[in-house]
């Protein structure tokens, strides 16, 4: 199993190019099921989750070709409407094939998915929405089975904003008969990117990026050509690296407006941030003294839960006490114990983490517990004295494209190795 060896060794300087978004790529790939013909998707990140979904789609009968950062997906000859457990067990986003299979073929059978172990991440809102569109759904033997003579537009009110649920029902409703209105919809940039693709396919969608999205279903859709939006979580992770240990670390290719909430907190911490609006580049440097900051996670455009672990590592370097309140997932402080092994002083009280910053971190062996937690441990290792080993980095490979290569290119002492 792969691990990372990291030695804290001073500033990061140079340029990092931001990759395409994993969380935009996956639903767009699922949407190719809707239309016969060949779609082309560019700026696709080289990630384990992307490869997993490629295997799922290939099993269904989609012909896939990889050409560097571009993949072509030809959904003309889909022969299967079932995604088995062995293919979907590692990734929650696999459920997104259910709706488009149902919309195009009238039936689908998908194994209940896996993914990060960060609390209850139920798919009940996905299934409730599909039922509203007219699907008959049964859950048995670990599979979701859905059938429908046809999907018919409906008004769907989410109990809470759900990114996956919003994406799933946008995709399915694009081939439904009549108009679908999604209320209390998620507003994330990845949803806007998916809507752009569905519009290229011929869908009639309005309101994406707001809490009310309207989809007028079409009788058929066509393939598309599209480049995926930048990965705002990778972008944010490198912004925090710059705030912790940067010396004119420049990030290129991201979308700055997607970072408003994070940049506000980074600036509050005292880090130096320079934005070039014309080139959309950001340069970040550490200040002599970082200040404590309070954080409360919230759905977009609030502070992202996917940046909470990384921000916690930054606040370990701030002199004073910071409070982080996690409102999205109930089990997202599993990285605290591992940061504690490096010397961080953090106390968890229910949905809050109290960070007593300013303690010197020292290298040791730590274990990644989920995707974003693994990034936080790498950031901590970059400022720790001595050598740190980060184990179980298969989590990392699900969401960060060649992170060790990107960090090494700007001065980090980091290498991947195989543990015996």
Backbone φ, ψ for residue 32 (5° rounding): -65, -20
Tokens 């050409």 identify what position?
Answer: 67
Q: How far is it, in rounded angstroms, from Cα 404 to Cα 384?
A: 17
Residues 6+ apart with CB under 8 A from 364: 341, 342, 388, 389
What length does the chain have?
420
Cα dihedral 39, 43, 45, 46 sign: positive
Residue 145 phi, psi (nearest 5) = -115, 130
> 116 catalytic, yes or no?
yes
Residue among 116, 127, 334, 336 flagged as catalytic = 116
Segment (H or E) for 321: strand 321-325
Report how far apart, in Å, the C-alpha atoms of 215 and of each of 45, 136, 158, 160, 204 are: 29, 21, 15, 19, 6
DSSP of 13-46: EEEEEPPBPHHHHHHHHHHGGGSSSEEEEES---
How far, CA to CA in Å, does 85 sit from each of 89, 110, 180, 397? Answer: 5, 8, 31, 21
Q: Which of 108, 161, 99 is nearest to 133 (CA)?
A: 99
Cβ proximity of 284 and 273 under 8 Å: yes
> d(Cα 272, Cα 286) in Å, to the nearest integer?
6
CB-side neighbour CA atoms (13 Å) of 112: 12
CA dihedral 102, 103, 105, 106 (to 10 degrees): 60
* Residues with catalytic function: 116
């Amino acid at each position: 199993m792969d691990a990372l060896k990291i030695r804290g060794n001073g500033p990061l300087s140079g340029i990092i190019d931001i990759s395409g978004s994993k969380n935009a790529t996956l639903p767009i790939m699922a949407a190719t099921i809707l239309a016969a013909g060949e779609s082309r998707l560019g700026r696709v990140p080289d990630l384990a989750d992307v490869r997993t979904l490629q295997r799922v789609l290939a099993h269904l009968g989609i012909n896939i070709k990889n050409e560097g950062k571009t993949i072509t997906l030809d959904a003309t000859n889909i022969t299967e409407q079932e995604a088995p457990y062995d293919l979907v067990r590692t990734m929650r986003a696999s459920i997104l094939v259910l709706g488009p299979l149902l919309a195009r073929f009238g039936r689908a059978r998908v194994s209940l998915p896996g993914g990060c172990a960060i609390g209850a991440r139920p798919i009940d809102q996905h299934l409730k929405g599909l039922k509203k569109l007219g699907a008959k759904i049964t859950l048995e033997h670990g599979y979701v089975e859905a059938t429908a003579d046809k999907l018919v537009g409906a008004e769907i009110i989410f109990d809470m904003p759900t990114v996956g649920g919003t994406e799933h029902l946008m995709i399915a409703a694009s081939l439904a008969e009549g108009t679908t209105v999604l209320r209390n919809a998620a507003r994330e940039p990845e949803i806007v990117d998916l809507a752009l693709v569905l519009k290229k396919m011929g869908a009639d969608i309005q309101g994406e990026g707001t809490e009310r999205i309207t989809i007028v279903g079409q009788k058929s859709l066509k393939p598309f050509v599209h480049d995926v939006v930048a990965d705002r979580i990778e972008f944010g992770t490198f912004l925090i690296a710059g705030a912790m240990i940067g010396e004119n670390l420049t990030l290129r290719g991201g979308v700055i407006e997607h970072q408003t909430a994070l940049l506000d907190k980074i600036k509050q911490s005292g880090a130096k941030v320079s934005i070039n609006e014309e080139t959309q580049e950001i340069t970040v440097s550490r200040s002599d003294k970082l200040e404590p900051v309070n954080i409360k996670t919230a759905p977009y455009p609030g502070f992202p839960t996917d940046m909470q672990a990384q921000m916690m590592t930054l606040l370990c370097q701030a002199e004073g006490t910071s409070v982080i309140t996690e409102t999205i997932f109930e089990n997202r402080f599993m990285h605290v114990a591992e940061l504690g092994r490096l010397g961080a002083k953090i106390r968890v009280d229910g949905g809050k983490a109290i960070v007593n910053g300013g303690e010197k971190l020292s290298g040791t062996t730590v274990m990644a517990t989920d995707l974003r937690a693994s990034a936080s441990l790498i950031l901590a290792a970059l400022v720790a004295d001595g050598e740190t080993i980060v184990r179980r980095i298969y989590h990392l490979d699900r969401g960060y494209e060649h992170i060790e290569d990107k960090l090494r290119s700007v001065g980090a002492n980091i290498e991947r190795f195989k543990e015996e």
